[in-house]
Structure 1
């Protein structure tokens, strides 16, 4: 290294920056602060901290949203750890923490505004949603959706519902990822075209017994976050689709229900 050249260090600024524990120096380097500002502020809720909800949280906590509310009444189990981003330590898993408490502790290292609610949403605790601006629905229960979707519509909240399904064909899995958006300006497609499953029974035996579909959880979470950033004006959106399907057997993404 030339004697007159200072060594480069990638040590982050330790001073808090907005909702972050340390400064987001990447925005400064890229000179896109005015674009990133479209993601700032507000309160976002993530309902369900499983394979998909955890990916949504992982990406959302790296945006300058003020508050992130995580809602899930389940405790962490081994199969969860195999679907979540990163690697859960054995000692953490042995303690059997509530999922949301674990995530609040881990992601609280980066984002200051994470609030865990270790409970399932039900009529008696809907006040959790009172100050929420946007909701990610990442649950694997039709009964939960049947209760939650009408409540979000009644509250005039925009939301994204992300889910996946599996079928077995000739000893091979076919995976389907679905991301459906609903806003006050566009809700009819959810019901008229049955885009979000609200009736019937859960058929999740294949999902629960296959931890090797974390890639599909990740894709569902990534597509949901991209859609969210389009709605916020961060990404340009020339299609304005409100329903997206990805199928593993054809390796294609189909966009429908354009606004």
Structure 2
């Protein structure tokens, strides 16, 4: 049923379920005690003994049962730190029955239905999360986030403590082609405060076909009038979602240039997503690698080396990661060097390959920042199209 509650659920990411006799809103973003963002289930008024719905619970009208997804005190809170609703009953751990009167005290109103009641509570509870995120007068300690919408995802996914490990990281993405744009799409949805985009190229019409999402009518018309700069386009594309994305229409030319850039724009981690020029014998990645090494910035390189043979694609996606100051890249298997044991770069472009390369790079970043349980100590992982699995350098040498 496409009513207000269901539509609100789709907007905020919670689920409306209807059992044989009860209505639930599950995974509703909420504030718990001490400003912790969590989630809860809102259940319409029912008789706890029979499980049957009725018009009141705890002998109070307009009441619902709140069940929190993590153990605390069973209450949900407003942005000012006060519990929402009049407390009727609870176990002081995971559930409570609360009542919020509809209308004014002297002119109370009835809810039209159970859906109307649950919708009203959901708006109040979700609204507290949004208000808490924006409030500057709250007594709680909450790190400032870059998102322009309520960050209900972390609570629902249960990864808040995991993402704490990257909350203060400043990221650079060098190269905003097919792979770099997908790296941006993934990193933009993490709570990192700053993302620097470096690429001096302009959009071509083909770029739309290998980029995340789709252009708007205005963006297409704008491209007809004048080609977009890649970094300007992507910064504008994600502006509605978050702050902290800076566009730099530049390329990393040498260590001196990067040192000057970093003096004004500090960076903690970098993603390198640039291709080799097919007509060149010297990989242009080496200039970027050397500059990042001298600057002491850890980085992850993501490259695609694919070609077409007999009307079929073959090749590899390679992800290599280097600690701050490491020179290991000098002896590594370069991602797009023609001299490597991977097929040479032939400008074959497939968006799914770009997306895979980006996903592997971001996963490696999460692994190296302690967000994943990992037993791998390898600096390099390669996905071969011909044999769809990921290999490390020893396995690659054997192949």
Same topology, TM > 0.5: yes
Q: Give the SS at the match of 1:181.
A: strand
Separation (CA, whole Å) in 1 of partners of 2:308 and 2:268? 38
Relative contact order, higher structure (CA 8 A, sep 6+): 1
The match for 2:330 among 191, 200, 204 is 191
Q: Out of 94-103 and 137-146, give the one that drifted further.
A: 137-146
**TM-score, normalized by length of structure 1?**
0.87
* Counterpart position of 1:13: 130
Q: Give the SS at the match of 1:241.
A: coil
**8 Å CA contact 2:182, 2:358 repeated in 1:** yes
1:129 aligns with 2:262: yes
Separation (CA, whole Å) in 1 of partners of 2:338 and 2:313? 24
C-alpha deviation, 1:256, in angstroms = 3.6
1:58 aligns with 2:175: no
Separation (CA, whole Å) in 1 of partners of 2:222 and 2:374? 41
Cα distance change of structure 1 residues 206 and 193 upon mapping to structure 2, 3 Å threshold: closer
**TM-score, normalized by length of structure 2?**
0.58
**8 Å CA contact 2:176, 2:230 repeated in 1:** yes
Please report the RMSD computed on the Cα atoms of aligned residues, expressed in angstroms: 2.8
Separation (CA, whole Å) in 1 of partners of 2:274 and 2:362? 16
**8 Å CA contact 2:296, 2:325 repeated in 1:** no
Deviations 1:171-201 (A, max 9, x none): 211131011101138543x22344445687x
**8 Å CA contact 2:294, 2:325 repeated in 1:** no
Count of residue pairs brought into register by the alignment: 253
1:168 aligns with 2:283: no
Separation (CA, whole Å) in 1 of partners of 2:284 and 2:237? 27
Query: Which entry has the higher C-alpha Rg, 1 or 2?
Result: 2
Separation (CA, whole Å) in 2 of partners of 1:36 and 1:197? 32
The match for 1:33 among 160, 164, 169 is 160
Deviations 1:62-81 (A, max 9, x none): 11111000000011111111
Q: Out of 88-97 and 157-166, give the one that drifted further.
A: 88-97
Separation (CA, whole Å) in 2 of partners of 1:84 and 1:54? 6
Unpaired runs of 5+ residues, structure 2, are 1-17, 24-112, 135-143, 277-281
* Counterpart position of 2:14: none
Cα distance change of structure 1 residues 204 and 32 upon mapping to structure 2, 3 Å threshold: closer
Unpaired runs of 5+ residues, structure 1, are none
Q: Out of 240-249 and 78-87, give the one that drifted further.
A: 240-249
Cα distance change of structure 1 residues 156 and 198 upon mapping to structure 2, 3 Å threshold: farther
* Counterpart position of 1:238: 375
Q: Report 1:86-235 matches (<5 A).
A: 86-89=213-216, 90-94=220-224, 95-123=226-254, 125-126=257-258, 127-130=260-263, 131-141=266-276, 143-184=283-324, 187-188=327-328, 190-196=329-335, 204-207=345-348, 211=349, 213-235=350-372
Q: Out of 47-56 and 21-30, give the one that drifted further.
A: 21-30
Q: Give the SS at the match of 2:267.
A: coil
Deviations 1:67-115 (A, max 9, x none): 0000000111111111100012322432311000011111121121000
C-alpha deviation, 1:50, in angstroms = 0.2
Q: Give the SS at the match of 2:314.
A: strand
Cα distance change of structure 1 residues 122 and 109 upon mapping to structure 2, 3 Å threshold: same
Separation (CA, whole Å) in 1 of partners of 2:273 and 2:154? 29
**8 Å CA contact 1:241, 1:257 repeated in 2:** no
